[in-house]
Amino acid sequence: VTEQPYLAGLRLSGRRVVVVGAGTVVRRRLPALLEAGAVVTVIAPEVSPTVEALAGEGRLTWVPRDYRDGDLDGAWYVVVATDSPVANAAAAAEAERQRIFCVRADDAPAGTAVTPATGRHGAVSLAVLGGGDPGRAATVRDGLLEALRAGAVDDRAIRPVPEHDSGTTSALPGVALVGGGPGDPGLITVRGRELVARADVLIVDRLAPQALLALAPAHAEIIDAAKLPRGRSMLQETINELLVGRALEGRFVVRLKGGDPFVFGRGSEEVEACVAAGVPVTVVPGVTSAISVPALAGIPVTHRELAQEFVVASGHVPPGDPRSSVDWTALGRLRGTLVLLMAVENLASIATALVAGGRAAATPVAIVQEGSLPGERVLHSTLEAVGDEARRTGIRPPAVVVVGPVVRVRPRG
Ligand SMILES: C[S@@+](CC[C@H](N)C(=O)[O-])C[C@H]1O[C@@H](n2cnc3c(N)ncnc32)[C@H](O)[C@@H]1O
Give the per-residue pLDDT at 153.
81
Q: Which band of pLDDT confidence, cut at 50, 70 and 90, is reported for residue 387?
A: very high
d(CA 29, CA 235): 50
* Ligand 1 contact, 341 CB (< 6 A): yes
d(CA 135, CA 129): 10
- Assess contact for 134 and 154: CB atoms under 8 A: no
Q: Which band of pLDDT confidence, cut at 50, 70 and 90, is reported for residue 122?
A: confident
Question: What's the 257 CA to ligand 1 centre distance in angstroms?
Answer: 10
Does residue 413 have a pLDDT over 90?
A: no
The b-or-e profile of 163-184 (16+ CB within 10 A means b, else e) is ebbbeebeebbbbbbbbbbbbb
User: pLDDT of 269-287, one tens digit each?
Assistant: 999 999 999 999 999 999 9
d(CA 157, CA 242): 23
Is the peptide bond between 398 and the residue preceding it cis, with omega within 30 degrees of 0?
A: yes
Give the per-residue pLDDT at 170.
57
Q: Atom 5 (ligand 1): residue with closest C-alpha?
A: 259
Q: Which band of pLDDT confidence, cut at 50, 70 and 90, is reported for residue 157?
A: low
- Atom of ligand 1 lying closest to residue 260 CA: 8
Task: Say which range, 60-64, 69-73, 206-210, 294-298, has the weakest mean pLDDT.
Answer: 206-210
Q: 64 vs 109, 276, 285, 302, CA distance in Å?
A: 28, 57, 42, 42
* Ligand 1 contact, 397 CB (< 6 A): yes
Does residue 302 have a pLDDT over 70?
A: yes
Give the per-residue pLDDT at 161.
47
Give the bridge partners for 366, in sequence order: 380, 402
Question: What's the 182 CA to ligand 1 centre distance in angstroms?
Answer: 7
Give the per-residue pLDDT at 86.
95
Give the per-residue pLDDT at 25.
85
- Assess contact for 232 and 258: CB atoms under 8 A: no
Amino acid present at 186 = G
User: pLDDT of 341-378, one tens digit each?
Assistant: 999 999 999 999 999 999 999 999 999 999 999 999 99
* Ligand 1 contact, 296 CB (< 6 A): no
- Assess contact for 101 and 80: CB atoms under 8 A: no
107 annotated active-site: no
Does residue 267 have a pLDDT over 90?
A: yes
3-state helix, strand, coil in the chain (%, to 5): 35, 20, 45
What global pTM score does this model have? 0.77
User: pLDDT of 7-51, one tens digit each?
Assistant: 999 999 999 999 999 988 888 899 999 999 999 999 999 999 999
| The dihedral sign for the CA sequence 102, 105, 107, 108 | positive
Which of the listed residues 341, 377, 401, 403 should we mutate to test ligand 1's pocket, taking the one with most ligand atoms within 8 A of CB?
Answer: 341
Q: Which band of pLDDT confidence, cut at 50, 70 and 90, is reported for residue 120?
A: confident
Q: Atom 27 (ligand 1): residue with closest C-alpha?
A: 342
d(CA 151, CA 215): 8
> Strand, coil or helix: what is 127?
strand
205 annotated active-site: yes
Stretch (H or E) spanning 284: strand 281-284
Give the per-residue pLDDT at 2.
64
Give the per-residue pLDDT at 228.
76
What does the pLDDT average to over 99-125?
Answer: 92
Mean residue pLDDT across the chain: 92
d(CA 259, CA 371): 11
